[in-house]
Structure 1
Amino acid sequence: MGVSIALVIGSLFAGFPVFWMLSSSFKANSEIFQFPPRIITENFSFDAYTTILCDPVKVRFFVNSYVVSLSVTALTLIVAIFAAYGFSRYEFRGKRALSMIIVTVQAVPPITLLIPFFGLMVTLKLYNTYQGLILTYMVFTLPYAIIMLTGYFNTLPKELDEAVKVDGAGALTALWRILVPIAIPGIVSVGIYTFMIAWNEYLFALTLTRTDDMRTVPIGIQLLMGQHSYEWNEMMAMSILGCIPVLILFLFFQRYFIGGLTAGSVKS
């Protein structure tokens, strides 16, 4: 009973800010600061959502986020699957050193690389481009993806791909026809994590983009904070719209997510 009560209290504590954000998105700015505050507004208004969805600049923020996040997710998964397969199934010179480098990169605080990445992107003429953001995000998503998928592939018996090779198939055939379908839970969990990192990232998106036609949703929310006034209802509405893609991913793939994380964390 005590555990159930604690879980209910914890859920309310975690869920109330999201509920308040949703409620505020349907209020006028003046009503948000009304005292005593109204948890549920009596005058529902979709003005904040209409303003956002009818503004080409704000819609562009969402388009940019989708392009960057989906590209980072797809490229990270492709590279990580090949790398993890190599680490899991083959012994090669420098394998241990390369593994340590990957773990070290994962441990480096991203903020320490902000200025070097800015200089690098300017030098490579990738500043304020999709390619610059995508490559930058992959530096931070690939180590985790490789580590998790290597752990997942380690749980799969080597006899699976050896049986395919006996029939004359190559390593790539064994990987894509046998191991990848079995490893779907791990791949999905890594994909969701990667998408979330790219979708929610703020600091590098702010630093490596200059114009509104390249900015992403987190920067779009920040731009609603003016020098003398904040459009709180629009900020809340854009935040709600920004949560929807991640929620959809969890709803559709939640059955894979926990199993994928658990299996990927086990090293055989």
Structure 2
Amino acid sequence: MADTLTGRTAGTTGGPVATGASGGRRPADPVKRPSAPRQAGIYLGLVAASLFAVFPLLWGLSTSLKPESTVLSTPVRWIPETLTLENYRVVLFDSQIPLNLLSSVLVSVTTVGVTLLIAVPAAYSAARFRFRGKAGLLFFILMTSMVPGIAILVPLYYLAVRFGLYDTYLVMIIIYSAWQVPTIVWILRGFFESIPVDIEEAGRVDGTSAFGAFFRLVLPLAKPGLGAAAIITFVYVWNDYLIASTFVSDPDLRLISVGLYTYLTQYGTVWGQLTAAVMVTLLPMVIAFVLFERRLVAGLSAGASKG
């Protein structure tokens, strides 16, 4: 009896235990951690990848703070001897970069709104309802996003001119939204599938309509997925050059991706002003990523696990 009590006491106070093949109890296997050399290799690889990504930005920042006469001087100095904000003054007050930034913000934000307005109900329907041909339809929607943009550029250009949409914001918003909807539908579909159906059923029992349950219960829980979709769409429009340069020729309507090329002339490149404009262009993207980084990771993780 005493041995039995002693054995029980040891089992309850000695930490996690597991049952062996013979019926006895043995300590559970501890969680294996990477060895010290492996951890050092992982951290070293992460640091190297970070430096590889950050180095061009640091070089651009250094160049934007140099006088134009010292940009190409040798030997190269990563820390300028003379710091100047003249390049930023010219970019912000004596160029069309601010107007290009405003155009990019307008087109990007509008495209995000149109894309979500179309993709959210489509993704919710794909996640909740069953109908004949659903798998084939979803595959066809995804397949449309795999068509290279250059392959349909000429037909799109013809249609834009034919319907009087050339040289307008509207043509870019329509094309960008059409190209982003398939990808966003698949991302949000996986996220909606990760939300339990029981939540909607409970709302229906309490007297909420189907639309009410969707707007009041599902959408608030889907905020991380919506944030991830919004950032993906925003970044795509902000960085695109093909559509922005093909369907707009008016300098006042150019997006920032096209406006940056004004510093690349036949007489050479104005490196100081170009890098200053790039730094100004990156600022909205950095702010957006810092504000929505958690939602982006959560939304992509849910979409990847269920999509």
With the length of structure 1 as denominator, give the TM-score of the two structures: 0.96
CA–CA distance in structure 2, aligned partners of residues 58 and 5 of structure 1? 39
* Corresponding position of 1:171: 210
CA–CA distance in structure 2, aligned partners of residues 240 and 203 of structure 1? 21
CA–CA distance in structure 2, aligned partners of residues 245 and 114 of structure 1? 29
* Corresponding position of 2:161: 122
* Corresponding position of 1:27: 66
* Corresponding position of 2:197: 158
Higher alpha-carbon deviation: 5-14 or 145-154: 5-14
CA–CA distance in structure 1, aligned partners of residues 209 and 132 of structure 2? 22
- 1:210 equivalent to 2:210? Answer no
Aligned positions of 1:30-179 closer than 5 A: 30-55=69-94, 57-179=96-218
Gaps of 5+ in 2: 1-39
CA–CA distance in structure 2, aligned partners of residues 120 and 263 of structure 1? 38
CA–CA distance in structure 1, aligned partners of residues 261 and 181 of structure 2? 28
CA–CA distance in structure 1, aligned partners of residues 120 and 245 of structure 2? 30
CA–CA distance in structure 2, aligned partners of residues 28 and 139 of structure 1? 44
Q: Tell me the CA shift for residue 58 of structure 1.
A: 2.3
Q: Number of residue pairs matched? A: 268
Q: Tell me the CA shift for residue 56 of structure 1.
A: 5.8
Letter in 2 for 1:176: F
Percent identity for Structure 1 against Structure 2: 35
Q: Tell me the CA shift for residue 246 of structure 1.
A: 1.1
Letter in 1 for 2:156: F
SS of aligned partner of 1:122: helix
Deviations 1:107-146 (A, max 9, x none): 1122212112111111121111111000011121111110
Letter in 2 for 1:103: L
Q: Tell me the CA shift for residue 72 of structure 1.
A: 0.6
CA–CA distance in structure 1, aligned partners of residues 61 and 214 of structure 2? 44
Report which of the two has the higher share of helix: 1
1:14 to 35, 53, 61: 53
Deviations 1:200-258 (A, max 9, x none): 11011000001111100010101111111221111111111111111111111111111
Gaps of 5+ in 1: none
Letter in 1 for 2:60: M
SS of aligned partner of 2:265: coil
Letter in 1 for 2:294: R
SS of aligned partner of 1:27: coil
Q: Tell me the CA shift for residue 93 of structure 1.
A: 4.1
Higher alpha-carbon deviation: 234-243 or 50-59: 50-59
CA–CA distance in structure 2, aligned partners of residues 82 and 104 of structure 1? 19
* Corresponding position of 2:44: 5
With the length of structure 2 as denominator, give the TM-score of the two structures: 0.84
Q: Tell me the CA shift for residue 92 of structure 1.
A: 3.0
CA–CA distance in structure 1, aligned partners of residues 244 and 285 of structure 2? 18
SS of aligned partner of 1:266: helix
SS of aligned partner of 2:268: coil
CA–CA distance in structure 1, aligned partners of residues 94 and 106 of structure 2? 19
CA–CA distance in structure 2, aligned partners of residues 6 and 91 of structure 1? 45
Letter in 2 for 1:217: I
* Corresponding position of 1:180: 219
- 1:195 equivalent to 2:234? Answer yes
Q: Which has the larger radius of gyration?
A: 2
CA–CA distance in structure 1, aligned partners of residues 97 and 57 of structure 2? 22
Report 1 or 2 for greater relative contact order, CA contacts < 8 Å, sequence distance ≥ 6.
1
Q: Tell me the CA shift for residue 262 of structure 1.
A: 0.8
CA–CA distance in structure 2, aligned partners of residues 240 and 157 of structure 1? 43
Letter in 2 for 1:247: V
